[in-house]
Amino acid sequence: MTVSSLEPTTLKAGFHALSDTLRLQILELLRSQEYCVCDLCNLLEVSQSKLSFHLKTLKDANLIQSRQEGRWMYYSLNLAQFALLEQYLADYRRFTTLRPATPCENP
Amino acid sequence: MTVSSLEPTTLKAGFHALSDTLRLQILELLRSQEYCVCDLCNLLEVSQSKLSFHLKTLKDANLIQSRQEGRWMYYSLNLAQFALLEQYLADYRRFTTLRPATPCENP
DNA sequence: CCTACCTATCAAGTTTTCTTGATAGGTTTA
DNA sequence: TAAACCTATCAAGAAAACTTGATAGGTAGG
The 10s digit of each residue's pLDDT in A77-95 is 999 999 999 999 999 998 8
- Domain assignment of residue A72, yes or no: yes
**B80 in contact with A, Cβ within 8 Å:** no
The domain that holds A55 is classified in CATH as 1.10.10.10
- Domain assignment of residue B45, yes or no: yes
Amino acid at B69: E
- Domain assignment of residue A76, yes or no: yes
- C-beta atoms of A96 and B36 within 8 A: no
- Domain assignment of residue B54, yes or no: yes
pLDDT given for residue A2 in this prediction: 56
Distance CA A38, CA B70 (A): 59
Of B19, B36, B96, the CB nearest to A16: B19
pLDDT given for residue A97 in this prediction: 82
- Domain assignment of residue A64, yes or no: yes
Most A CBs within 10 A among B4, B19, B35, hence the mutation to make, goes to B19
Tell me, rounded to whole angstroms, the distance of Cα B51 from its chain centroid: 15
Rg of chain A in Å (alpha carbons): 18
pLDDT given for residue A107 in this prediction: 57
pLDDT given for residue A63 in this prediction: 98
- List of chain B residues whose C-beta atoms are within 8 Å of the C-beta of residue A54: none
Which pLDDT band, with edges at 50, 70 and 90, does B58 fall under? Answer: very high
Count of structural domains within chain B: 1
Tens of pLDDT, residues B9-36: 999 999 999 999 999 999 999 999 999 9
- The burial class, CB within 10 Å (0-12 / 13-18 / 19+), for B33 is middle
pLDDT given for residue A45 in this prediction: 97
CB of A107 within 7 Å of some strand C atom: yes
Task: Pick A29 or A1 by higher pLDDT.
Answer: A29
For residue A15, what are the domain limits? 3-89
pLDDT given for residue B2 in this prediction: 56
- Domain assignment of residue A41, yes or no: yes
- Domain assignment of residue A107, yes or no: no
Q: Strand C nucleotides below 7 A of a protein CB?
A: 4-10, 17-22, 25-28
**B15 in contact with A, Cβ within 8 Å:** yes
Does A14 have pLDDT greater than 90? yes
